[in-house]
């Protein structure tokens, strides 16, 4: 670690006033050094800012970004927009390299943060437990065998669970306060609740009327929800697969077997947590080849698809959280950076199987103790890029992926035009199928999938568990 020139006391510590004035220079990653786009990144504790000094590639410009140690991961999520807004000519690859360097220096920043500013550091999980109940927002949670999904009903965010009534009695172990809504046919019961309570935690729904990524599941009223319960009860896995496939043929141009796999994957994304491993889909093609249309189709119909471009590793694991696997799925457009982004490669390498996680160190409010949080990485992922990076650099990613090539072809509808017209019949059909798939997932939560033995082994077998 290279410090700026300053006074050092007999204990080897930097003088506090001098440290505030000079700040601390961060270690640049090897990738960032080789790119030669930044000459220095410095943390200024007195101003609570990061100072990024660019090289002559970007005219030696200086960028100042306010920091937030109290909500580091929320701050990290917004970092991309902050850098883009203040440095619009910075290309995406260089921006990602800078973001990765900041994440790699997280421990260092906290360790050398001035003692007087510790009250701005975020509370650790251990400390919040000592203070009482920790409140967390989730997209879904499984408790006592019941699946609770975040949903909007009559413009009000709730948790929704659906299950079969047994002996017409209430389950005393159900979470939170509730309003039970029996469906008189086939003993189906749905329940809308405001929160889920377990020891030391309160879980709240993450969706709202303004949530757009992932797109929230929304019903106009409880009557509409009942309607979709009735519709979903009449569906099967086969009928929903065929419905998705028929729609996909109108928007995506590729060979029949590719469309079949991708349609099956959309339905599978709603039940991925029932399998021990998953494969990824990588789409390769030139601009205009239709690979982005396939990704947008997945965004509309897949399960809670987090659709991003030029995402960092922190974007991935912050979205997936640390509480329970299966909070959603990922779709990244223009993901060419996986060839050099080691942090993102780790997310992809660990995220294909259950139990994959990324550990992150947290500091207590007074800086006296550390704790460790493990962010989950398991989920189904779709990526697009113009061409594959060198195989040696992403072999671990390729081993977990199906590669599909796209070429320019004709389709019935341009999905980008449809998504701009919410009053069109095609857009309404997307919304209808989304609701149907969502309710079907809740109705079929207890389904046990048969483990079919294939004549393939090892990693290939893991990728075809569905």
Provide DSSP, 3-28. Answer: PPS--B-TTSPBPHHHHHHH-EEPPP
3-state class (DSSP) for residue 298: helix
Q: Say whether both 336 and 393 belong to one domain.
A: yes
Helix (H, G, I), strand (E, B) or coil at 158: strand
CA distance 326 to 321: 10
379 and 418 inside one domain: yes
Please tell me whether residues 273 and 291 are part of one structural domain: yes
Residues 422 and 384 in one domain: yes
Q: Which of the listed residues 94, 122, 150 is the one where a domain comes to its end?
A: 122
pLDDT number for residue 461: 63
Q: What is the pLDDT of residue 354?
A: 87
Q: Is 181 found in the same domain as 49?
A: no
The secondary structure of residue 447, as a DSSP letter, is: -
Least confident piece of the model among 23-37, 115-129, 403-417, 444-458:
115-129
Positive/negative CA dihedral, 303, 144, 179, 227: positive
Residue 232 inside a domain? The answer is no
Contacts of 383 (CB under 8 A, 6+ apart): 280, 281, 282, 283, 331, 332, 335, 338, 401
Identify whether 7 is part of a domain: no
Same domain, 389 and 298: yes
Structural domain total, the chain: 3
Residues 382 and 272 in one domain: yes
Q: Are 275 and 325 in contact (CB under 8 A)?
A: no
Residue 228 included in any domain? no
193 domain residue, yes or no:
yes
Do 357 and 303 sit in the same domain of this protein?
A: yes
In a domain, 362, yes or no: yes
Which DSSP category does 435 fall into?
H
Between 418 and 76, where is the model more confident?
418
- Boundary residue ending a domain (159, 183, 215): 215
Q: Which carries the bigger pLDDT value, residue 57 or residue 271?
A: 271
**Domain membership flag for residue 1:** no
| Statement: residue 170 has pLDDT above 80 | no
Which has the higher per-residue pLDDT, 414 or 135? 414
Look at 183 and 134; give whichever has higher pLDDT: 134
pTM of the model as a whole: 0.69
Query: Which of 191-205, 356-370, 398-412, 425-439 has the lowest average pLDDT?
Result: 356-370
pLDDT, tens digit (0-9, with 9 covering 90-100), for 183-216:
544 588 899 999 999 888 899 998 887 888 899 9
Q: Which residues contact 103 (CB under 8 A, 6 or more apart)?
A: 76, 312, 313, 314, 343
Q: Write out the DSSP string of 376-405.
A: E--S-EEEEESS---TTTSHHHHTTEEEEE
Q: Give the least confident one: 146-150, 221-225, 369-373, 402-406.
A: 369-373
Q: Which domain holds residue 204?
A: 131-215
Residue 163: strand pairing partners: 189
Rounded (10°) CA dihedral 60, 66, 70, 72: -40
CATH of the domain at 444: 3.40.50
- pLDDT at site 27: 87
User: Is residue 115 domain-shared with residue 139, that is, in the same domain?
Assistant: no
pLDDT tens profile 403-420: 999 999 899 999 999 999
The whole-angstrom separation of Cα 312 and Cα 204 is 26
Token representation of residue 392: 């040696």
**C-alpha 298 chain-centroid distance:** 14
Same domain, 170 and 209: yes
- pLDDT at residue 318, rounded to an integer: 86
DSSP bridge pairs for 43: 24, 50
Residue 3 falls inside a structural domain: no
Query: What token pair was written down for 383?
Result: 């990526």
Q: How far apart are CA 466 and CA 280, in angstroms?
A: 13
Cα(205)–Cα(157) distance, rounded to whole angstroms?
7
Distance in angstroms (rounded) separating the CA atoms of residues 424 and 415 = 12
Do 439 and 299 share a structural domain?
yes
Q: Are 281 and 305 in contact (CB under 8 A)?
A: no
Q: DSSP 3-state assignment of 260?
A: helix
Q: Is the same domain home to 267 and 347? A: yes
Least confident of 198-202, 366-370, 399-403: 366-370
**Position with higher pLDDT, 149 vs 362:** 149
Say if 442 falls within a structural domain. Answer: yes
pLDDT of residue 12: 35
The token pair at 422 is 């919410």
Of 215, 245, 270, which residue constitutes the final position of a domain? Answer: 215
């Amino acid at each position: 670690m290279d410090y700026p020139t300053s006074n050092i006391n007999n204990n080897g510590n930097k003088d506090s006033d001098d440290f505030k004035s000079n700040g601390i220079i961060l270690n640049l990653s090897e990738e960032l050094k080789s790119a030669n786009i930044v000459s220095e990144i410095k943390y200024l504790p007195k101003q609570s800012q990061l100072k990024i000094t660019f090289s002559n590639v970007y005219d030696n410009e200086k960028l100042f970004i306010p920091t937030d140690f109290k909500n580091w991961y929320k701050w990290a999520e917004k970092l991309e927009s902050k850098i883009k807004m203040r440095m619009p000519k910075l290309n995406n690859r260089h921006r990602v390299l800078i973001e990765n360097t900041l994440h790699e220096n997280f421990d260092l920043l906290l360790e050398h943060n001035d003692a007087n500013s510790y009250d701005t550091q975020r509370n650790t999980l251990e400390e919040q437990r000592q203070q009482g109940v920790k409140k967390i927002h989730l997209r879904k949670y499984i408790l006592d065998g019941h699946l609770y999904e975040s949903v909007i009903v009559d413009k009000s965010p709730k948790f929704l669970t659906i299950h079969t009534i047994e002996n017409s009695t209430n389950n005393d172990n159900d979470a939170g306060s509730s309003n039970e809504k029996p469906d008189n046919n086939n003993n189906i019961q749905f329940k809308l609740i405001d929160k889920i309570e377990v020891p030391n935690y309160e879980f709240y729904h993450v969706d709202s009327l303004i949530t757009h990524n992932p797109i929230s599941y929304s019903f106009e009223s409880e009557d509409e929800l009942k309607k979709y319960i009735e519709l979903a009860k009449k569906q099967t896995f086969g009928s929903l697969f065929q419905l998705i496939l028929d729609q996909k043929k109108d928007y995506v141009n590729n060979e029949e077997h590719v469309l079949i796999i991708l349609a099956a994957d959309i339905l599978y994304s709603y039940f991925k947590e029932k399998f021990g491993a998953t494969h990824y889909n990588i789409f390769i093609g030139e601009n205009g080849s239709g690979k982005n249309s396939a990704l947008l189709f997945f965004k509309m119909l897949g399960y809670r698809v987090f659709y991003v471009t030029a995402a960092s590793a922190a974007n991935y694991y912050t979205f997936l959280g640390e509480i329970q696997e299966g909070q959603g799925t990922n779709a990244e457009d223009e993901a060419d950076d996986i060839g050099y982004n080691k942090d993102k490669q780790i997310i992809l390498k660990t995220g294909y199987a259950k139990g994959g996680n990324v550990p992150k160190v947290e500091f207590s409010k007074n800086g006296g103790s550390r704790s460790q949080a493990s962010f989950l990485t398991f989920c189904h992922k779709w990526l697009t890029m113009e061409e594959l990076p060198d195989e040696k650099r992403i072999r671990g990613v390729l081993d977990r992926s199906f590669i599909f090539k796209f070429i320019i072809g004709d389709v019935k509808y341009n999905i980008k035009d449809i998504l701009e017209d919410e009053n069109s019949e095609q857009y309404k059909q997307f919304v209808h199928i989304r609701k149907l798939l969502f309710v079907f997932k809740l109705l079929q939560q207890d389904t046990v999938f048969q483990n079919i033995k294939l004549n393939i082994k090892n990693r290939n077998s893991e990728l075809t568990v569905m």
